[in-house]
Chain A
Amino acid sequence: MLGRYRNLTILVGVLFLQVLGLAVQVKRSADVENTRLIRIWAVGAVTPFERGLVWVQNSSRNLWHNYFYLRGVRAENRELRQQIEQMRLEQVRMSEDAAQAHRLQQILAFKEQYISKTVAAQVIGSSGTDLSRSVYIDKGSNDGVAPDMAVITANGIVGKVLRVYASTSLVLMINDQTSGVGAMLEKSRLQGVLRGTPNGEVILERVMSDEQVTPGDNVMSSGGDQIFPKGLPVGTVSKVSPGREMFLNIQIKPAADLSRLEEVLVVTGKQEQQAVADATTPRVRAADILAQRLPSVPDRPAGHAVVTTPAENGASGAAEAGQAKPNSNSYSNSSAKPQVQPAGNAAGTGAGSVPVAPPAGTAGAVSAAAIPKKPVQKIVSAEPVAEGDTEGSAGNGSNAAVLPAASVAKPASAKPASSQSPPPATAEDAPH
């Protein structure tokens, strides 16, 4: 009897064992990794080949790109330099905003999380099926990687480390259906849970249907999952539709290209500390800031550039305080050069300028006409800087910026103006 059904009996037996094993794994919690050893065997058998192939691939690509194929590198370099200049200007404004945020956080005794240490890793393989979304990276416990560490790229978050082996790790991506990330909408600060779908899409769950969410809204990590630090870019809302149980169905386009990952960063160190305001920032009186930020009044007709030097400024009186400003912030070497400030340009194109409302009694040296009409000035993308002039761009032409107060050294000419302005106020009091 058994001989006749021998094959079938063995089949049923093998299937039964596998079902039993599966049931045990499902029943046990995820913390108890009871299949670690056999997974190590499988990963150890496959990943060395992948690692080797990726190395060969990268080496040949690097050889080609770094030694043979250098067409357009000069032009690209020029563009990048221009970008750097623009970003420096933006950075000045950002650092000012950040300093203000730090001060506020310190007042509120908030704790901040910083990414203090990362490990760069190369993607060497995947799980090999579209039913699960995970990739293997070439860094493991030997490199300080541990489970539940965040994996990111420069564009946005990728996922978390699920399993760690000696020299490789398995990363569960955010579009896997078993993943979950605390996320929030950048504008409205609405929080939700980011989940993957069986089709590999990413959705934001738990946002009530009466909330206003529009396609294009940015989504970032909320920090609520204790894995991803708050504020990392996640993606943008691509589609919003009514979902189940009074919740919206929000589809997200991930910021990182999850289907073509090559290099990632594993966040191996996070630091939590109470916000500390930057003590190095000098306390500047609001009147000084005003004097520096207000646009210059050309003393010559438009089209005639006013050439000033710090020395000249220092010699000028209070009435000139708001005019041509010696631009002596850290990134500019223009204090040593004559600055050319086009007439009427400072108010509109001041990169990094901050809205300033004229407080009463501060305008002893500032005419009302000099106050810009538009209260909000955003960073204006500076015109491309002429080739060979990148190093001093902050101090010339349209890039001559009305700079944030903290980053601008107080010119001698500003002092008389501020001295007349009662009452003395600190930088914190200045409207931003």
Chain B
Amino acid sequence: MPITYTSGEQIEVYRFSWPVTVGVPLAALFLQSFVPRIFPPFAVYFDLPLLVTIFFAMARRNPISGLFTGAAIGLAQDMLGPYPIGIYGIAKTVVGYGASSLGAKLDVENAGARFLVTLGFYLVHAAIYFTVARGMVSLTLNWSWSRGIFAGLANALLGIGLYFVLDKFKQRT
């Protein structure tokens, strides 16, 4: 039964085994790198490492754990790209912290809440990436609300399915 209270004592905290903690982010990075080879639009609209960051952060409900998970996944994503390391790292650190803080206060177990949280954090992530890339790395990026919202909706939909699968790996503390 989902917990719908906002009281800290009644919120259930989950943990994950080591293979899942390491393997799922690695699989997300691998798929994010490999799938565009077969289906190029995947890279345009989907960000699997972001979905995994949000999922782990919301499930653990611990801001410290969330921000380190986000930092690790973001930095690994940076390492695979051609640009300086840290752009995704910063963006996903903030998302990890925010998602776990939100998860500690709200019920994020149902599909509707997950959809909205994912959509919101996708836009937050895009905004931070945009700011850091332009401000620090001098990359030329064009902000597009329509593209951001469309990609956010696509990620939110994918996220619902992905979270459902990843829920199977949850372990009660």
Contacts and interface: CB of A to CB of B under 8 A. Distances in A.
A26 B137 contact: yes
A130 B133 CA distance: 14
Q: Which of B40, B76, B83, B133 has the most CB of A within 10 A?
A: B83
A198 B43 contact: no
Nearest to B86: A22
Interface in B52-86: 63-64, 67-68, 71, 75-77, 79-86
Contacts of A26: 84, 136-138
Interface in B66-124: 67-68, 71, 75-77, 79-87, 89-90, 93-94, 97, 101
A127 B80 contact: yes
A68 interface: no
Nearest to A260: B40
A369 interface: no
Nearest to B74: A18
Nearest to A177: B140
Contact of B139 (A7, A15, A177): A177
B165 interface: no
Contact of B79 (A43, A124, A199): A43
Contacts of A15: 90, 93-94
A99 B154 CA distance: 58
B164 interface: no
A11 B37 contact: no
Contacts of A18: 71, 75, 86, 89-90, 93
Contact of A39 (B64, B79, B141): B79
A18 B129 CA distance: 13
Interface in A153-185: 162-163, 170, 172, 176-178
B136 A19 contact: yes
Nearest to A170: B82
B10 interface: no
A123 B80 contact: no
B158 interface: no
Nearest to B71: A14
Given A128-B32, A162-B82, 5 more contacts: A18-B86, A124-B34, A126-B37, A130-B44, A198-B139
11 contacts: A6-B64, A11-B63, A15-B90, A15-B93, A19-B90, A21-B85, A25-B86, A125-B34, A126-B36, A177-B139, A197-B140
